[in-house]
Structure 1
Amino acid sequence: MGQLSFADVDPLADLSLRETTFVVVDLETTGGRAKGDATAANVDAITEIGAVKVRGGTVLGELATLVDPGRSIPPQIVELTGITSAMVRDAPKIEAVLPMFLEFARGAVLVAHNAGFDIGFLRAAAERCQIVWPRPPVLCTVRLARRVLTRDEAPSVRLSALARLFGASTTPTHRALDDARATVDVLHGLIERVGNQGVHTYTDLRSYLPDVTPEQRRKRALAANVPHRPGVYLFRGPANEVLYVGTAVDLRRRVNQYFNGSDSRPRIKEMVALTSAVDHVECAHDLEAGVRELRLLAAHAPPYNRRSKFPQRWWWIVLTDEAFPRFSIVRNPKGDSAVGPFRSRADAVETADLLARFTGVRTCTARIARSARHGPACPERELSPCPAPRDLTAADYADAPRRATALIDGVDNTALSAVLSRIAELAERNRYETAARLRDHAAAAISVLWRGQRLRALAAVTELVAARPDGYGGWHLAVIRHGQLAAAGVARRGVPPMPVVDAITAAAQSVLPVPAPLGGALVEEVALVMRWLGQPGVRIVRADPGWASPLGSAGRYAGWAAAARSARLAAEQALDSSDLLSEPHPTREQLFGRPGVDRSDRAVQRRLPRREPFSAAG
């Protein structure tokens, strides 16, 4: 399921404009370029933030601060704003100011004059500070003024001109707080103008803006019967075909946003123009909504969902069924013992070559009879020779595919230990480029093996019942069979959860696995269920026959693989940013991470995290 936006939980959609909280913000910056690396000379930074919080014409609070941009302020900006480098020398950095501003603006509509500029700088600053942008609703007074005012009345929509037109109590001075105060008066003047045109809520105001076509506004009636409940919505075209599928924690509010211009993407506007009906499916909680969305995407492949463009197009590595098995890359394996899934065939080929090299599985493609020997039909190559020794009978060769099967099933990870030993040996011999390539292939192989083993372990559980706190004293409940969601329910606060568990379990869908990876379940669904089970507070009510990773799973090397990926990125950045003639080369630890350690003494099995017992009392 995709990340839910602020709009999905927006409590402002049905409030009147008098009840809506606005935070009017204005920024001063060192220039007009917001995007890029903060250390780059051609990227500008914020020097001052001013904000005013208002509701119903009453000022609730103000925020104003200078910001140290970490660089000198150009003379032309000093002349325009009066803010000098000396004034911001002791000011706080944006890393300290931005969280304070976001808390000040929480739950409000952000308003700015030319909002693309101000919000663009705030979003770029959040990205550089690694702060998640909350995606608040945004209102631009420039666009609203162009919609409300005629050219004769307002030849210019500059803030100074509009402030004079509406008799603002504060004159704009190119200082953040003064300009924000002036924008408040402009906002109130514009809202007064649209009040007699049936614009009474923030949703009405969004619909009134220029980017909302009359056709979009007319189709708001399609959302009239959609409830304020979590679930899945489907936009249907003229022939009742499914155009788009999405999820929301409040279906009514989310669907309404497609008709009020909140989503400005051209393809979404095109989809809305084609829509003739909106269907919905109510769900107990977000897991059920996510699973239903995935199943609908797989069933209908809606043209306006990017994720449904190439549904179920995975690659897998399997051992062929012959006397001398070898690895093969296929789309649809017939059994569960497969390595994957892979997005690209090239990644699968690289992993198959690595596994063959360290398990002894042959890479030659000739078909060999059971009575023959490996060798005569295998071409001799100086580069990438066949890993299987020559002149082997089928009985002698059988150990190699057994090792490969044990590795895939998580029974024996000796091959992974051999890979890490080889990387260390190459590094000791100063063959850094070869070691780095092997490191990257090994990290990818470990990650895909570990992910596949976890998914298969979940898909092997006949029935698992789990509960997650809903945040209000109740429980979100899920019945999972062979990795698929079979039933979902909710036990509200004060309702004993165990009778609800028994009821949804009795009515749960029967799941019969088929000969295919993950028993035929959608890869995305099993992965979504696994992520949900791993969330904080989730409790396992019962599991039959139990849920644990294999004894020799690749999880023992998952930490090494993560460190290797980080080492690769660090080495690339070091090589990109340093002068190799004057700077020291990256260390072995920077290039290859720490050597792999088999921590078999820590645990016999990688079991589920220990959780508090689930009780009827909650």
Structure 2
Amino acid sequence: MAQQHLPVQGTLDDLGTPLSLTTFVIVDLETTGAKGDGAGITEIGAVKVRGGEVLGEFATLVNPGAPIPPFITLLTGITQAMVAPAPPIEAVLPSFLEFAGLGGDTVLVAHNAPFDVGFLKAACAEHGHAWPGPPVVDTVPLARRLVTKEEVPNHKLGTLAGFFGVPDRPTHRALDDARATVGVLNGLLERLGSFGVQTLEELRGFRNAPTPAQRRKRHLADDLPDAPGVYVFEDAKGDALYVGKSGSLRKRVRSYFTASETRGRVREMLALAERVTPIVCGSALEAEVRELRLIAERKPPYNRRSRNPERAVWLKLTREAYPRLSVVREVRDDGAPYLGPFRSSREAEMAREALHQTFPLRQCTHRLGPGRRAVSACVLAQMGRCGAPCEGRESPADYDAHVSAAAEAMTTDASSVVRALTDHIFDLSAQLRYEEAALHRDRLAAFVRAAGRAQRLSALSRCAHLVAARRAGADWEMCVVRHGRLAAAGIMTPASDPHAYLRALVDSAETVEPGPGPTPRATAGEMECVLRWLDVPGTRLVELDGTWTCPANGAEKYRKLQERPGDFSPALR
């Protein structure tokens, strides 16, 4: 589907922001107490470091505008007389934010960070400064993961500073404590190196030490290309264990062998993996589609989606003398309208209930028609929700009118179902019967989601041939879609002849024949990947054979009900 690229060996710098190039701002605050008690800041101390070098320091007393409790003075040595001439926090805050330069990859570090960050965020909010939202590293939980109880009795700042031999010991003064935290941070970063944590991204994702299998099998990520594509973890027999996709195969696969990978099932998979097979793709769309196809084909046990992904649930309006709504597992070439696919049988049942609430279709499973013996009507006939064709009370012509209306709601015009259930929901709500109203709301949402999905997929599948393109930097991503299936994809560079490239891409594209139902030649997942790609602003249609459109009164008109089922407009009544 796309040109193959030769593997390119990169450097560590390609894998994220190296810790040696990361700017850390280590901060410590002294306060009059806890934030919840209305306490204020009395002192700010901060040290800015990069690559082990101190870039600058910041220290100032702050007038909290309130008395300092005696026990705080005893703890910190900061007296009321010391802070009386000091500037208030609203005067100090701009200078601190300018010094810290928080934003981008600058990391804010503190020992028990929620305490210090909480005071700083509250001060920003109170005095009209936007909190820059920097990455935050708390040395307390980091130390708990890296320094065992056998090594230290606790993880207080003074204990850790002594353990790591930090020359600056904490004194409960802001700058002294910030300097001590710098030493503790350096000691922790040295330990992280033995766990394969070399970048800021790995540091932020660090939870537990990588397993021996992770460390032992890091070589599986060697020589993978820095390109979009699909990767397949395989065992010694060549069976697929796990399939994934990424915009950079090298970066993504390498992350599995660091401390940032904490999923139990994935760690179990890595113990079995013996090789990683990369499949380079020309674009992210191709990678996404290839991943879905490989999962469906190879059924890797460690992919959650690999359990019979081809088995979908549909709601079918049957083709018989007196049609009924039936939940089925396959789409046949029988001309019947289908709704779905659904994520579960339960969701299909809810959509069926929405249709039954609107149209008096029979719900029994008896075989009815000419020459067959009549059967007794059920309670639905007494309730007026079925015309009792089983007893011959309703003629085939009258029943066909209900069938035609239900088929229209499923395929072209959802307004009748939306209106009927919305009216019923409002009536129930007016009677304070909220639980029943919520049940009908969920049924309506299930119907609208499924009808919208089926109509979108059907519209795309009816297009025998579609070529689209969109910019990707200086290049153009292009794809060929036939009956909903991605038939070809590629990247056209500025040096290419557009007409020649287009013809070559189209001529080499997969031949796809039409078929029955909304998803005749591709899974719903693949078609929705294609639809998302086509829906991006700036995408251009280059060629189109067919009519690509959804019904004017179809379920797409009620997209809000799919996204926010609780939001019903009175205008629908």
TM-score under structure 2 length normalisation: 0.74
Question: 5 Å matches for 1:282-361?
Answer: 282-335=280-333, 337-361=337-361
Question: 5 Å matches for 1:204-353?
Answer: 211-335=209-333, 337-353=337-353
Residue 461 (structure 1) aligns with? 463
Distance apart, 1:439 and its partner CA: 3.3
- Match for 2:53 among 39, 54, 58? 58
Question: 5 Å matches for 1:94-493?
Answer: 104-107=102-105, 142=143, 146=147, 151=151, 158-164=156-162, 168=166, 170-172=168-170, 179-189=177-187, 201-202=198-199, 211-335=209-333, 337-371=337-371, 376-381=375-380, 386-390=385-389, 391-411=393-413, 413-424=415-426, 434-470=436-472, 472-492=473-493
Tell me how far apart the structure 1 counterparts of residues 478 and 450 of structure 2 sit (CA, whole Å).
Answer: 29
Q: Cα deviations across residues 320-344 of structure 1 (Å, max 9, x unaligned)?
A: 2211110001111214731112222
The 3-state SS of whatever aligns with 2:217 is helix
Query: Are the equivalent residues in 2 in contact too, given 1:411–1:550 (CA < 8 A)?
Result: yes
Tell me how far apart the structure 2 counterparts of residues 204 and 351 of structure 1 sit (CA, whole Å).
Answer: 44
Letter in 2 for 1:394: P
Residue 570 (structure 2) aligns with? 594
Query: Are the equivalent residues in 1 in contact too, given 2:467–2:544 (CA < 8 A)?
Result: yes
Distance apart, 1:223 and its partner CA: 1.6
Change (3 A) 1:450 1:113: same
Distance apart, 1:411 and its partner CA: 4.9
Q: Cα deviations across residues 56-92 of structure 1 (Å, max 9, x unaligned)?
A: 23345789999xxxxxxx9999998999xxx9xx989
Question: Aligned-residue CA RMSD in angstroms?
Answer: 5.1
Q: Cα deviations across residues 241-261 of structure 1 (Å, max 9, x unaligned)?
A: 111111111111211121222
Q: Cα deviations across residues 480-539 of structure 1 (Å, max 9, x unaligned)?
A: 222222212123456565543333222222222333441142111111221222223323
Tell me how far apart the structure 1 counterparts of residues 273 and 450 of structure 2 sit (CA, whole Å).
Answer: 40
The 3-state SS of whatever aligns with 2:547 is coil
Distance apart, 1:368 and its partner CA: 0.5
1:556 aligns with 2:551: no
Query: Are the equivalent residues in 1 in contact too, given 2:486–2:530 (CA < 8 A)?
Result: yes
Query: Are the equivalent residues in 1 in contact too, given 2:455–2:518 (CA < 8 A)?
Result: no
Distance apart, 1:468 and its partner CA: 2.8
Change (3 A) 1:413 1:279: same
Distance apart, 1:361 and its partner CA: 2.0
Higher relative contact order (CA 8 A, sep 6+): 2
The 3-state SS of whatever aligns with 1:510 is coil
Change (3 A) 1:246 1:393: same
Whichever of the two has the greater Rg, that structure is: 2
Letter in 1 for 2:253: V
1:531 aligns with 2:529: no
Tell me how far apart the structure 2 counterparts of residues 267 and 121 of structure 1 sit (CA, whole Å).
Answer: 39
Change (3 A) 1:91 1:115: closer
Distance apart, 1:235 and its partner CA: 0.6
Letter in 2 for 1:351: A
Tell me how far apart the structure 1 counterparts of residues 75 and 372 of structure 2 sit (CA, whole Å).
Answer: 87
Change (3 A) 1:503 1:59: farther
Letter in 1 for 2:395: T
Distance apart, 1:549 and its partner CA: 0.6
Letter in 2 for 1:489: G
Distance apart, 1:271 and its partner CA: 1.0
Letter in 2 for 1:380: V
Question: 5 Å matches for 1:73-84?
Answer: none
Letter in 1 for 2:312: W
Letter in 2 for 1:185: G
The 3-state SS of whatever aligns with 2:104 is coil
1:500 aligns with 2:512: no
Residue 81 (structure 2) aligns with? none
Letter in 2 for 1:393: S
Distance apart, 1:199 and its partner CA: 8.2
Distance apart, 1:142 and its partner CA: 1.7
Tell me how far apart the structure 2 counterparts of residues 315 and 76 of structure 1 sit (CA, whole Å).
Answer: 68
- Range with bigger deviation, 281-290 or 158-167: 158-167
Q: What runs of 5+ residues in structure 1 fail to find an aligned partner?
A: 1-8, 33-40, 67-73, 123-130, 568-591, 598-618
- Range with bigger deviation, 289-298 or 384-393: 384-393
Q: Cα deviations across residues 141-195 of structure 1 (Å, max 9, x unaligned)?
A: 5268538x994xx676543233345564654356877645433233335667899
Query: Are the equivalent residues in 2 in contact too, given 1:420–1:595 (CA < 8 A)?
Result: no
Tell me how far apart the structure 2 counterparts of residues 208 and 25 of structure 1 sit (CA, whole Å).
Answer: 21
Query: Are the equivalent residues in 2 in contact too, given 1:334–1:517 (CA < 8 A)?
Result: no
Q: Cα deviations across residues 542-570 of structure 1 (Å, max 9, x unaligned)?
A: 3222321123312223335655x234xxx
Query: Are the equivalent residues in 2 in contact too, given 1:366–1:377 (CA < 8 A)?
Result: no
Distance apart, 1:302 and its partner CA: 1.5
Tell me how far apart the structure 2 counterparts of residues 318 and 102 of structure 1 sit (CA, whole Å).
Answer: 62
Change (3 A) 1:299 1:112: farther
- Range with bigger deviation, 475-484 or 274-283: 475-484
The 3-state SS of whatever aligns with 2:331 is coil
Tell me how far apart the structure 1 counterparts of residues 563 and 195 of structure 2 sit (CA, whole Å).
Answer: 56
Percent identity between the two aligned chains: 41
Tell me how far apart the structure 2 counterparts of residues 135 and 465 of structure 1 sit (CA, whole Å).
Answer: 42
Tell me how far apart the structure 2 counterparts of residues 425 and 174 of structure 1 sit (CA, whole Å).
Answer: 65
Q: What runs of 5+ residues in structure 2 fail to find an aligned partner?
A: 1-10, 62-68, 79-83, 121-130
Query: Are the equivalent residues in 2 in contact too, given 1:29–1:47 (CA < 8 A)?
Result: yes
Change (3 A) 1:100 1:327: farther
Letter in 1 for 2:254: N
Residue 612 (structure 1) aligns with? none
Letter in 2 for 1:341: P
Residue 65 (structure 2) aligns with? none
Change (3 A) 1:424 1:144: closer
Distance apart, 1:410 and its partner CA: 0.9
Change (3 A) 1:308 1:24: farther
Query: Are the equivalent residues in 2 in contact too, given 1:204–1:260 (CA < 8 A)?
Result: no
Question: 5 Å matches for 1:35-74?
Answer: 54-59=49-54
- Range with bigger deviation, 353-362 or 12-21: 12-21
Distance apart, 1:371 and its partner CA: 4.7
Q: Cα deviations across residues 382-418 of structure 1 (Å, max 9, x unaligned)?
A: 8866433551232332222222222222157434334
Query: Are the equivalent residues in 2 in contact too, given 1:231–1:286 (CA < 8 A)?
Result: yes
Distance apart, 1:291 and its partner CA: 1.0
Q: Cα deviations across residues 280-299 of structure 1 (Å, max 9, x unaligned)?
A: 10111211111111111111
Change (3 A) 1:143 1:497: farther
Change (3 A) 1:167 1:261: closer
The 3-state SS of whatever aligns with 1:595 is helix
Query: Are the equivalent residues in 2 in contact too, given 1:403–1:412 (CA < 8 A)?
Result: no
Query: Are the equivalent residues in 2 in contact too, given 1:354–1:442 (CA < 8 A)?
Result: yes
Query: Are the equivalent residues in 1 in contact too, given 2:463–2:545 (CA < 8 A)?
Result: yes
Change (3 A) 1:142 1:533: same
Tell me how far apart the structure 1 counterparts of residues 359 and 450 of structure 2 sit (CA, whole Å).
Answer: 17
Query: Are the equivalent residues in 1 in contact too, given 2:227–2:280 (CA < 8 A)?
Result: yes
Distance apart, 1:276 and its partner CA: 0.8
